[in-house]
């Protein structure tokens, strides 16, 4: 390079050192904008990359773009990234859309999320709660016992006209006496409805001011005598629930404690203050916190930013992530069924899950498999594929990667992740042209007596489009991607910033007269040039 360009070159050298990797990888072709259609993202997107390589910057760009396209945006962020949150808040304010923040570490400014508000049936809600202790593909008798118990507790709450919540479910199953108390309330309510509110106590010969054990014994004896083998023509919907609750109430308390030992710590964790209010809100409470539901979000639009304290309390963060993901999946299924498959009037929804390995459960996988039909796009982000394997299994990791039609990778050093990138990009035909020149002469012969030959060999072989070695040399904010429409691209991520933070392009005088490292090289996107390029495409 000519000496005269050295003052400019030093700034690019400094930027290259800061970006890391090998910038030569992305200098083999002419730079052009890469456009991706909205429908392309509804094949779901998997993003991988090392720490600090630009994953959050990419997610910030994508989430803001989806918001401008009119999507409802839900973000599950275990790191509580301030720039991402503030960017979405500013964009929502500019567009006149509501912005909701959920943060257990900042309860004063946090909204409440009713994760038990929307459910298709009792088994749906039960499965969502038990997914916190269920390993996909594994049959565990303790989990099966707990599932049956939780299911009957939820059904029992409905018969006494109590809306299920994590707090109420835990309250009514935390001890043997809690279950006995619930069973008595359920039998009182069911007998009153069956015989009549004014006459049932006389009919059953029930005294309401007796002790709990005495009341339970009388009500249970009446059930055994009149409903245990009921064969009447009138259908009674509460028989199975009451029968099961009586069995639990009469079982050995120590045995029940052992069988529920796996799930009770999870419930204990989710009802600790302030989660008891944030995840199990009471509509009649005097609290000023706004209550948000998935169903309401999907209807009104806007942004729900869920910040989780994943660094200091990863277990709680993972549990909340899975609960919210299960709730979103259930709501998606409900709105799809309500419209009988016609989603033309419904808004599109984009869900961004950072550190997605902590949110893996069966509902998340089901949403990946069927979310497109409900107009839902998932953007799941993790550092390596090994995170998925450690959190679940190899088979589950393969399912997740297979269900994402878009795959974007930044710099990765993990071997399984590199292998996935290489397999997604396939092989390319590489032509090799070998030319050999040979000459020879002997000292015993005249000087003009010599021999020579020329040979040429051409060969085409299939080689990896992107060698594994190069994946560990990708600079910051650079990507390799396989898109749903079949394209395989390499590119650079534009950095989205708020309008008030925008600064002009770096000038030539700045590069000439300022020291290297003291100048931030900026080149803002030119909308006119982008529109010009778009017109060429169409």
Residues 171-193: tens digit of each pLDDT: 999 999 999 999 999 999 999 99
Express each pLDDT in 246-257 by its tens digit.
999 999 999 999
State residue 7's pLDDT score. Answer: 67
Q: Are residues 67 and 171 in the same domain?
A: no
Q: Are residues 52 and 169 in the same domain?
A: no
Domain at 341, CATH number: 3.40.50.300
Residue 3, domain member (yes or no): no
DSSP state of 290: P
Express each pLDDT in 105-136 by its tens digit.
888 889 999 999 888 889 989 988 988 887 76
For strands 349-353 and 376-382, give the pairing: parallel
State residue 285's pLDDT score. Answer: 73
| Residue span of the structural domain in which 211 resides | 122-275
Residue 526, domain member (yes or no): no
Which residues pair with residue 457 across a beta bridge?
434
Express each pLDDT in 419-431 by its tens digit.
988 888 888 788 8
State residue 447's pLDDT score. Answer: 64
**Tally of domains in the chain:** 2
d(CA 58, CA 64): 10
Q: Are residues 208 and 72 in the same domain?
A: no
Q: Band of the pLDDT at 11, cuts 50, 70, 90?
A: low
In the sheet with 72-77, reading across from the earlier edge strand, the strands are 99-102, 303-307, 72-77, 349-353, 376-382, 45-48, 406-409, 478-482, 488-492
Q: What is the mean pLDDT of the chain?
A: 86
Q: Which helix (H) or strand (E) holds 324?
A: helix 314-338
Residue 21, domain member (yes or no): no
537, pLDDT greater than 70: no
For strands 376-382 and 406-409, give the pairing: unpaired
Express each pLDDT in 386-396 by its tens digit.
999 988 888 88
Q: Are residues 425 and 325 in the same domain?
A: yes
Express each pLDDT in 315-344 by its tens digit.
888 889 889 888 888 888 887 777 776 777
For residue 164, report the phi and psi dihedrals to the nearest 5 degrees: -65, 140
Question: Which tops the pLDDT comparison, 519 or 81?
Answer: 81
Residue 382, domain member (yes or no): yes
Q: Are residues 223 and 77 in the same domain?
A: no
Q: Are residues 238 and 312 in the same domain?
A: no
Residue 363, domain member (yes or no): yes
Global pTM?
A: 0.85
Instruction: Compute CA distances 273 → 166, 175, 268, 415, 506, whole Å.
Output: 13, 20, 10, 42, 50
Q: Are residues 82 and 149 in the same domain?
A: no
Residue 135, domain member (yes or no): yes
Q: Are residues 130 and 99 in the same domain?
A: no
Over residues 92-100, mean pLDDT:
94
Of 231-235, 250-254, 298-302, 492-496, the range with the highest mean pLDDT is 250-254
Q: Are residues 322 and 362 in the same domain?
A: yes
State residue 289's pLDDT score. Answer: 84
State residue 345's pLDDT score. Answer: 77
d(CA 234, CA 242): 17
State residue 6's pLDDT score. Answer: 67
462, pLDDT greater than 80: yes
Residue 492, domain member (yes or no): no
d(CA 440, CA 195): 116
Q: Are residues 333 and 373 in the same domain?
A: yes
- pLDDT > 70 in the chain, percent: 92
d(CA 350, CA 469): 34
Q: Band of the pLDDT at 240, cuts 50, 70, 90?
A: very high
Q: Are residues 259 and 329 in the same domain?
A: no
Half-sphere exposure of 237 (CA within 13 A, CB side): 6
Q: Band of the pLDDT at 468, cuts 50, 70, 90?
A: confident
Question: CA torsion, points 287, 290, 295, 298, in degrees to nearest 10?
Answer: -170
For residue 64, report the phi and psi dihedrals to the nearest 5 degrees: -65, -40
Buried b (16+ CB within 10 A) or exposed e, 246-265: bebbeeeeeebeebbebbee
Location of structure tokens 């989430």: 63
Residue 240, domain member (yes or no): yes
444, pLDDT greater than 90: no
Determine if residue 237 is left, alpha or beta; phi over 0 gives left, psi from -120 to 50 gives alpha, anything else beta.
alpha
**Of the residues 275, 301, 335, the one at which a domain ends:** 275
Instruction: Compute CA distances 196 → 157, 192, 432, 492, whole Å.
Output: 20, 5, 91, 72
Contacts of 184 (CB under 8 A, 6+ apart): 212, 215, 216, 219
State residue 306's pLDDT score. Answer: 93
Burial of 225 (0-12, 13-18, 19+ CB in 10 A): exposed
d(CA 293, CA 281): 11
Terminus-to-terminus CA distance in the chain, angstroms?
Answer: 39
Question: Which tops the pLDDT comparison, 457 or 59?
Answer: 59
Q: Are residues 148 and 265 in the same domain?
A: yes
């Amino acid at each position: 390079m000519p000496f005269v360009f050295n003052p400019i070159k030093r700034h690019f050298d400094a930027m290259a050192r800061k970006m890391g990797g090998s910038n030569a990888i992305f200098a083999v072709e002419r730079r052009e904008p890469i456009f991706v259609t909205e429908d392309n993202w509804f094949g779901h997107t998997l993003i991988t990359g090392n720490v600090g390589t630009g994953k959050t910057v990419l997610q910030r760009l994508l989430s803001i773009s989806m918001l401008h396209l009119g999507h409802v945006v839900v973000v599950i962020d275990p790191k509580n990234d301030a720039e991402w949150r503030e960017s979405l808040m500013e964009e929502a304010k500019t567009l006149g859309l509501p912005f909701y923040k959920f943060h257990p570490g900042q309860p004063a400014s946090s909204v409440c999320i009713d994760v038990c508000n929307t459910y298709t049936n009792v088994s749906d809600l039960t499965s969502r709660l038990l997914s916190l202790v269920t390993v996909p593909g594994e049959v565990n008798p303790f989990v099966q016992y707990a599932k049956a118990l939780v299911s009957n507790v939820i059904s029992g709450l409905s018969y006494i006209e109590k809306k299920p919540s994590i707090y109420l479910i835990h309250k009514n199953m935390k001890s043997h006496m809690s279950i006995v108390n619930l069973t008595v309330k359920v039998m009182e309510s069911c007998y009153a409805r069956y015989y009549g509110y004014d006459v049932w106590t006389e009919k059953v010969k029930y005294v309401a001011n007796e002790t709990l054990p005495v009341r339970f014994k009388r009500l249970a004896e009446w059930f055994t005598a009149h409903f245990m083998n009921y064969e009447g023509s009138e259908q009674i919907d509460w028989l199975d629930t009451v029968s099961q609750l009586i069995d639990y109430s009469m079982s050995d308390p120590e045995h029940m404690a052992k069988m529920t030992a796996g799930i009770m710590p999870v419930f204990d964790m989710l009802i600790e203050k302030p989660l008891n209010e944030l995840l199990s809100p009471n509509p009649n409470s005097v609290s000023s916190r706004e209550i948000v539901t998935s169903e309401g979000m999907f209807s009104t639009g806007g942004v729900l930013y869920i910040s989780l304290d994943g660094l200091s309390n990863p277990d709680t963060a993972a549990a909340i992530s899975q609960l919210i993901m299960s709730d979103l999946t259930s709501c998606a299924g409900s709105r799809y069924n309500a419209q009988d498959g016609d989603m033309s009037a419904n808004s599109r929804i984009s869900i961004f899950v950072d550190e997605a390995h902590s949110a893996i459960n069966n509902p998340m996988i089901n949403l990946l498999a069927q979310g497109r039909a409900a107009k839902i796009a998932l953007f799941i982000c993790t550092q390596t594929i090994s995170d998925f394997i450690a959190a679940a299994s190899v088979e589950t990791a393969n399912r997740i990667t297979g269900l994402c039609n878009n795959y974007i990778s930044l710099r990765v050093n993990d071997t399984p992740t590199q292998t996935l990138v290489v397999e997604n990009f396939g092989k390319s035909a590489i032509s090799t042209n070998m030319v050999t020149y040979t000459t020879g002469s002997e000292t015993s012969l005249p000087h003009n007596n010599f021999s020579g030959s020329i040979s040429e060999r051409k060969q085409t072989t299939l080689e990896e489009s992107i060698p594994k070695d190069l994946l560990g040399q990708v600079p910051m904010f650079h990507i390799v991607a396989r898109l749903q429409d079949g394209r395989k691209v390499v590119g650079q991520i534009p950095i989205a910033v708020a309008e008030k933070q925008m600064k002009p392009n770096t000038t030539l005088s700045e590069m000439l007269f300022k020291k290297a490292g003291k100048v931030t090289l900026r080149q803002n996107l030119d909308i006119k040039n982008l529109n010009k390029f778009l017109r060429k495409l169409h």
